[in-house]
């Protein structure tokens, strides 16, 4: 498996924009997605995003999301279509 540090680095480069979009929908606690190739940021309703995943990924996201909400964090995915990577991070929103 490829090291995911480059995905976190890519997201951190766009952090101000990611956080700004998150804050727009903060009351809904969206799942954030940063697409590296498109250089676009998306905010998805949690249930819609979760329901698009496979069963194992749904359960993993459920645990991560509940922990993130409890700790005042956001769940953010970084997608790299070229390397076929989709990695999630729990990020502080303060």
Q: Provide φ and ψ at 78, rounded to 5°.
A: -120, 125
Mean pLDDT along residues 84-88: 92
Is pLDDT of 2 > 90? no
Enclosing domain of residue 23? 5-92
Instruction: List 85's β-bridge partners, or say none.
Output: 80
Each residue's pLDDT tens digit, 29-83: 999 999 999 999 999 999 999 999 999 999 999 999 999 999 999 999 999 999 9
Number of structural domains in the chain: 1
Is pLDDT of 1 > 50? no
How far apart, in Å, do the first and last CA atoms of the chain sit?
Answer: 31
């Amino acid at each position: 498996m490829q090291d995911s540090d480059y995905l976190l680095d890519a997201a951190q480069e766009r952090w101000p924009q990611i956080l700004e979009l998150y804050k727009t929908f903060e009351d809904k606690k969206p799942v954030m997605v940063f697409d590296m190739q498109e250089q676009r940021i998306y905010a998805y309703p949690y249930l819609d995003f979760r329901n698009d995943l496979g069963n194992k990924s749904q359960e993993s996201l459920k645990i991560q999301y509940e922990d993130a909400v409890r700790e005042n964090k956001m769940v953010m995915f970084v997608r790299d279509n070229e390397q076929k990577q989709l990695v999630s991070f729990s990020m502080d929103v303060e």
